[in-house]
């Protein structure tokens, strides 16, 4: 499943597609949204935001289209008169200046008044979005020590969208490796410097993955991995997908375990308790 950086990049494409004119056409597959197309025609898309893995399309009439891709949903941008060739089911389409943004296969779609968006049951449970909201390292440090989080193992906590929204499985492994922390440690086990180092990499690697289309590795380690014949699936990461390969930092063999029912990759030497 795509993580926050991938959803934010998709939102950027949709925003570019839809924010430079008025809505010429709109269509929704679900009966509960059938009344909205005539109301949206002539309106504008003001902004496209993300909240973790959810997307928010904000309209000038103060309504917001919420969608969550879940496992199979995908947005496609295309010319309105050239329908994409796909076996996926169309769920929503918005057209501006002859260009369309179409949502396929997603089932979690709804329309909300902007001033009631915080009542959405999924959004209400989310922590701050690292890419669409103003989140600094200090804010993350403070959240690490909140009662809901400070005694939880880092391996599970970093997947909890209620802690921060947008982190997922590959970012979890990468953040813990660069921070030099075992997934078994808890925020309360760390020194103040350790919590700040963790907060730094939570934020910086999420932004790096957004800017580089999912590459979280260091340039010098990427060149080293390429010289060893690693595929992009491996060299884009420092540890994720690299089980059995040498750690770029210490040359120990990288390992894989399951934490919170998801695979986690780590260096047993660099990330020892």
Q: What pLDDT digit, counting tens, does each position of 197-227 carry?
A: 999 999 999 999 999 999 999 999 999 999 9
Are the C-beta atoms of residues 101 and 76 closer than 8 Å to each other?
A: yes
Mention the CATH class of domain 4-125: alpha beta
Confidence class for position 93, pLDDT limits 50, 70, 90: very high
Tokens in use for 56? Answer: 């928010």
Active site residue 2: yes
> Does the pLDDT value for residue 273 go beyond 80?
no
Q: How far is 156 from 169, CA to CA, in rounded Å?
A: 10
Distances (CA, A) of 106 to 23, 54, 81: 22, 11, 22
249-258: long-range contacts (C-beta < 8 A, 24 or more apart)? Answer: 257/183
Catalytic (active site) residue 3: yes
The catalytic position among 2, 37, 84, 268 is 2
Query: Model confidence at 63, in pLDDT bands (50, 70, 90)?
Result: very high
Q: How much is the average pLDDT of 32-59?
A: 96
Query: Per the residue annotation, which of 184, 262, 263, 268 is the catalytic one?
Result: 262
- Per-residue confidence (pLDDT) for residue 81, from 0 to 100: 94
8, 53, 172, 236: the catalytic one is: 53
User: Does the annotation mark 184 as catalytic?
Assistant: no
pLDDT at 1: 64
Q: Residue 72's pLDDT is what?
A: 81
- pTM, 2 dp: 0.92
Mean per-residue pLDDT, 260-267: 95
List the domain boundaries for the chain: 4-125, 137-266
Which residues partner with 245 through β-bridges?
Answer: none
| pLDDT at residue 94, rounded to an integer | 98
Give the DSSP letter string of the chain. Answer: ---HHHHHHHHHHHHHHHSSSBEEEEEESSGGGTTHHHHHTT-BEEEEEEETTEEEEEETTSEEEEEE-TTT-EEEEEETTS----SSPEEEEEEETTEEEEEES--EEEEEEGGGGGG-TTGGG---BTTTS---HHHHHHHHTSTTTTTS-HHHHTT-TTTSBS--HHHHHHHHHHHT--TT--GGGS-HHHHHHHHHHHHHHHHHHHHTTS--S-HHHHHHHHHTT--HHHHTSSSTT-TTSBPTTT-PBPEEEEETTEEEEE-TTTT--
Residue 235 has pLDDT above 90, yes or no: yes
Across the strands, what pairs with 59?
45
Classified by CATH at the fold level, domain 137-266 comes out as: Helicase, Ruva Protein; domain 3 (1.10.8)
Checking if the pLDDT of 11 tops 90, the result is yes
pLDDT tens profile 130-163:
999 989 999 999 999 999 999 999 999 999 999 9
Is the per-residue pLDDT at 70 higher than 90? no
Could you give the CA distance from residue 72 to residue 90 in angstroms, rounded to a whole number? 12
- Is 236 one of the catalytic residues? no
Residue whose entry in the numeric block shows the structure tokens 């060299």: 235
Q: How far is CA 68 from CA 7, 24, 47, 75, 221, in A?
A: 10, 24, 17, 10, 34
């Amino acid at each position: 499943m795509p993580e926050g950086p991938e959803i934010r990049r998709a939102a950027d494409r949709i925003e570019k597609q839809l924010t430079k004119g008025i809505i010429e056409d709109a269509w929704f597959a679900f009966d509960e949204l059938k009344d909205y197309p005539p109301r949206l025609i002539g309106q504008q898309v003001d902004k496209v935001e993300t909240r973790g893995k959810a997307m928010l399309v904000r309209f000038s009439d103060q309504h917001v289209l919420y969608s969550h891709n879940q496992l199979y949903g995908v947005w496609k941008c295309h010319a309105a008169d050239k329908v994409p060739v796909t076996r996926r089911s169309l769920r929503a389409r918005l057209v501006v200046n002859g260009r369309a943004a179409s949502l396929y296969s997603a089932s979690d779609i709804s329309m909300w008044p902007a001033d009631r968006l915080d009542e959405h049951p999924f959004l209400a449970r989310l922590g701050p979005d690292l890419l669409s909201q103003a989140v600094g390292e200090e804010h993350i440090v403070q959240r690490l020590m909140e009662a809901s989080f400070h005694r939880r193992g880092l391996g599970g906590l970093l997947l909890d969208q209620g802690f921060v929204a947008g982190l997922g499985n590959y970012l979890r492994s990468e953040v813990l490796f660069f921070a030099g922390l075992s997934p078994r440690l808890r925020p309360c086990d760390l020194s103040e410097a350790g919590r700040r180092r963790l907060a730094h990499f939570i934020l910086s690697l999420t932004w790096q993955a957004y800017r580089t289309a999912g590459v979280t590795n260091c340039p010098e380690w990427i060149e080293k991995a390429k010289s060893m014949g690693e595929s992009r699936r491996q060299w884009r990461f420092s540890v994720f997908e690299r089980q059995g390969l040498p750690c770029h930092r210490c040359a120990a063999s990288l390992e894989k375990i399951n934490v919170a029912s998801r695979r986690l990759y780590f260096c047993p030497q660099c990330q020892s308790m």
